[in-house]
């Protein structure tokens, strides 16, 4: 799926690394502009 990143077991060494990856993703998505609903009508 476009826009996804998957981290396997070898991609982090412990809870601290996993927490960093999850928090990085949250910061990134929070920085994106809001989406308009596809069926939005005025």
For residue 10, what pLDDT is reported?
Answer: 81
Q: How far apart are CA 18 and CA 11, in angstroms?
A: 9
pLDDT value, residue 4:
79
Q: How far apart, in whole angstroms, are the C-alpha atoms of residue 13 and residue 28?
A: 22
Long-range Cβ contact pairs of 17-23 (< 8 A, separation 24 or more) = none
Instruction: Give per-residue pLDDT as tens, 1-42.
Output: 677 778 777 878 888 988 998 899 899 989 999 887 777 666
pLDDT at residue number 31? 95
């Amino acid at each position: 799926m476009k826009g996804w990143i998957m981290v396997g077991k070898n991609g982090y060494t412990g809870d601290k690394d996993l927490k960093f990856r999850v928090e990085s993703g949250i910061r990134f998505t929070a920085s994106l502009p809001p989406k308009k609903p596809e069926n939005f009508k005025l």
